[in-house]
Amino acid sequence: MSQRLSKADGTTEQRAPGRLEFLRHLGPGLISGVTDDDPSGIATYSQAGAQLGYAACWIMLLCYPLMAITQEISARIGRATGTGVVGIIRRHYPLWILKPVVALVAFANVVNLGADLGAMADVLRLLVGGSPHLYVVLFGGLCAGLLTFLRYDRYVSFMKWASLSLFAYFLTAFSVPIPWHRVLYHTLVPSLPLDASAIAVFVAVMGTSISPYLFIWQSSLEGERARGLPKLRRHSPTGLLAGEEVNRIRIDTSIGMAFATLVAYAVIVTVAATLHEAGITDIATTAQAAEALRPATGRFAYAVFSLGIIGTGLLAVPMLAGSAAYAIAEGRRWPVGLARAPHEARAFYGCILAATIAGVAMNFARIDPIHALLWSAVINGLLAVPVLVLMMLIAVKPGIMGQLVLGRRLTVLGWLAVAIMAATALGLLLTLGQ
């Protein structure tokens, strides 16, 4: 039986129950989750598994609630205000705060994007041969085209189905013998060697999983969605509409971040069971991780893992370019949005193209991608704290958030996430010179 629900304009709509109703909740949160596991992130998780073995498993158990909390807060901001995090910072804070945030996010995104394109090209070269530079250009063009020529609703639909490529990592994990009793123990019982390299890996995993570009991306997509829907009735006596939106955002975000966490967990377990157990503890790139896995997992699992890297890259590169474009365009008050045609938001789409071209050019310049990615991670790790603080200060104000203002529970959890990320940033600074 279908369900009749009240809309903001007082009319009703028919809604089908069951699977279609569940899928309706999935959108910006799922997209943010699946794009969190980009090739650079896979390299970080591979490094964690190789260096720490199963002792790295518990880190993802810590990451998940922090990811879900911070992304839900960013999503609420986007839904309540109709703009992304950068747009709302521009409205309520001075330019001397806004400009560094935009510049650092754009720089970190371009570097990350370039590293992801390079990783995808290297992996494809290992699989079929050919020129990695040619592959970088082709992948860059394809990713820019996804955002430019697909309308918003079609892009969201594409990303939902493309997320199935992440199951490649689960297939790889179950293709090798794994002592699950040890995995379970190290997942539930935290243990971390108190040396600089282990702490650096911990900080890298935290910084990769919880980054400012994810806040900007999900809040901007929610803002995009909100601009096409009726506004929330802030003084509704029942608050039913706001409650429905909170429920949708929470389901979407929880599932998206769970998916991201499980993929990272699968990578850590696979690499720990193969490379770490074989004494290989130093992994620098995603392609190196894939190549090292070949003798341990066999050609099929190696190919599946490699194709997973390409699939995640096709998901993540458009998001990184789009996130940079949202940050710049919202900061400059330009028309923004994937729902707009390119001729309606020329500067916004120009930023997407410019970010992609810059990432492609990185692979032709004499820039060490590992060092570039390191600095990208450093910037993201340090920038996450002030951005989270600004988000929290915004999200607790009823005058801005209306009925989507944070309650006491989410406020406490949000500030706890800020404290943990601040400690992580401090650990990052202490390990930089190690």
Separation in Å, CA 333 to CA 173, 321, 330, 337, 347: 46, 18, 5, 12, 10
Whether 9 is in a domain gets the answer no
Whether 11 is in a domain gets the answer no
Residue 223 CA to residue 220 CA, distance in Å, equals: 5
Residue 17 CA to residue 21 CA, distance in Å, equals: 5
Series of mean pLDDT values for 10-residue runs along the chain (434 residues): 40 45 64 77 86 91 93 93 91 91 90 88 86 92 84 66 68 79 92 78 83 89 76 46 81 89 90 85 72 67 76 84 92 86 90 94 78 71 88 93 91 94 82 63
Whether 191 is in a domain gets the answer yes
> What residue numbers bound the domain in which 245 lies?
24-431
Predicted local confidence at residue 161, as pLDDT: 64
Separation in Å, CA 230 to CA 7, 11, 124, 340: 8, 12, 45, 18
Predicted local confidence at residue 9, as pLDDT: 38
Predicted local confidence at residue 370, as pLDDT: 61
Please report which helix (H) or strand (E) contains residue 3, including its range. Answer: strand 3-6
Whether 240 is in a domain gets the answer yes
Predicted local confidence at residue 235, as pLDDT: 39
Domain count for the chain, please give it: 1
Whether 102 is in a domain gets the answer yes
Predicted local confidence at residue 54, as pLDDT: 92
Residue 97 CA to residue 100 CA, distance in Å, equals: 6
Report yes or no: 193 and 46 within 8 Å, Cβ to Cβ: no
Report yes or no: 140 and 280 within 8 Å, Cβ to Cβ: no
Q: Collapse the DSSP code of 371 into the 3-class scheme (helix H, G, I; strand E, B; otherwise coil) and give the result.
A: helix
Whether 8 is in a domain gets the answer no
Predicted local confidence at residue 241, as pLDDT: 63
Whether 308 is in a domain gets the answer yes
Whether 17 is in a domain gets the answer no
395 is written with which tokens?
Answer: 């999200």
- CATH assignment of the domain containing 42: 1.20.1740.10
Predicted local confidence at residue 17, as pLDDT: 45
Report yes or no: 394 and 88 within 8 Å, Cβ to Cβ: yes
**DSSP 8-state code for residue 15:** E
Whole-model pTM? 0.84
